[in-house]
Structure 1
């Protein structure tokens, strides 16, 4: 390698170093502080309790009666929302794939819920849709002679799943609609001429073509859905009891309701471990789809 090439490489590394260092500090400093706080006693309501805690904060967090429910609710919320959004997203994308009058307006209306802020989304469903007295669903129930359902009390986690799915469904629709635009129309026409019905076309043509898009939607949704908080805080506050408490809300409870920074930091590290386990699984799944 010539001296000029070595000089160019050194110059490029020096130019990149500020950005790389800033990125490392941006990630490592908060992570390091979280690890440090998880290993010491740090309770804002009891400042005299201090010193090295070791693994006691982790033990306290795991032994919390709400820990098991929070893990289960997080996985159930995650899995249910992904299944609903991917399933309905595929159905809607296929439904509006062919040209029809007003298709552009329908697409805009389908995408618009994704731009609603999570807190606004939760308030909309809480007061306009699920209120047991004046909500839209209560009026529908009353019209058909049935007793209105108190959604946030009787079905708290299911209610949150509906809210989150409604907001993330447009994202899945947008990705699938975009992917369908690049599909080979001649291949579809040939399959129809050979007598293939819709289910056969869906299995052998649509699904293989949309495999990468489905993988991307699942990965992005999982990353964001692991930290769902605003909908739960605004509507159910984790209750009744712990029926709608997920991991993010449990950490919030320890940090800002119990003022125990040490235990909350230990919970945050558990959340990081859970997120990494899911991420490794998804990366392998998506990698297989990309190879195919």
Structure 2
């Protein structure tokens, strides 16, 4: 009875969690195998794998997958490299370090839509944006970033918001470093690059793995920044998998194909998560 009581008390929470997860997943699977286009309600019935085939053979599918990979890889690389450097710069005590750290992590609390609007109108606008003013100051022609370099612009916008997260994780990790070991290395004549290679990097290995895993999972669903700035264009230049699903669901009104795309995204996210969890596990075992 003593063993049964805790399980009975946990049953409502576990059942609610399972319903919260399984019901939407089951409905998505159901809609992915039927014909359900709101523009053609008379067409219905079992579709089998037609929705999956339509989604995969969409001309925008492979550009979306490629853009998603570029977005993931670039943002993770930028946030990890710059995050480590910023964390090292703010690791040593200096006047106002607490205020600087607060300012460094503050962009992470900006909502994605607000972040995109700030960059679209305040920074990257080719007429009155900050970057346009800088270009004109040096006598160069302003660049229409969101038109000429759409995917690169999205990468910069997303990286700016996720950089504080990586920096915060790395700053926290550096606080637990063995100061005596660092002092011993300095007394033995080790320069900064040697300390970085043999002390800082091994210590930050677990933190890097955690940052990469979390960002990889969340960046697969980047949507607000693309919708607010480029709307996936020009053409498919900045369309990712999440935005392609949105196009099928709310622009083409095809819930069946959108559900098939959503399941594809779920599978992709789970593959990435399993890979990263194993990588993190190996780092934790060291």
Same fold (TM over 0.5): yes
Deviation at 1:12, TM superposition (A): 1.1
Structure 2 unaligned regions, length at least 5? none
Distance 1:283 1:168 in 2: 20
1:128 aligns to what? 122
Find the partner of 1:163 among 157, 163, 169: 157
- Cα offset for 1:223? 1.2
Alignment-derived partner of residue 261 in structure 2: 267
SS in 2 for 1:8: coil
CA distance in 2 between partners of 1:110 and 1:186 (Å): 28
- Of 184, 199, 206, 2:200 maps to 206
Given the alignment of the two structures, is residue 65 of structure 1 paired with residue 64 of structure 2, yes or no?
no
TM-score (norm 1): 0.97
Residue in 2 that maps onto 1:180: 174
Cα distance in 1 between the residues matched to 2:108 and 2:8: 41
| Count of residue pairs brought into register by the alignment | 286
Structure 2 residue 76 is the aligned partner of structure 1 residue 82: yes
After TM superposition, give the deviation of residue 232 of structure 1 in Å. Answer: 0.1
Partner Cα separation in structure 1 for residue 279 and residue 203 of structure 2: 16
Counterpart CA distance in 2 for 1:220 and 1:59 is 30
Please report the TM-score for the alignment, with normalisation by the length of structure 2: 0.99
Cα RMSD over matched residues? 0.6
Unaligned runs of 5+ in 1: 1-6
Runs of 4+ in 1 over 2 A off after TM superposition: none
Counterpart check, 1:243 vs 2:256: no
- Tell me the residue number matched to 1:99: 93
Offset at 1:170? Answer: 0.5
Aligned to 2:280: 286
How far residue 200 of structure 1 moved from its aligned partner, in angstroms, is: 1.1
Distance in 2 (CA, whole Å) between partners of 1:235 and 1:140 is 21
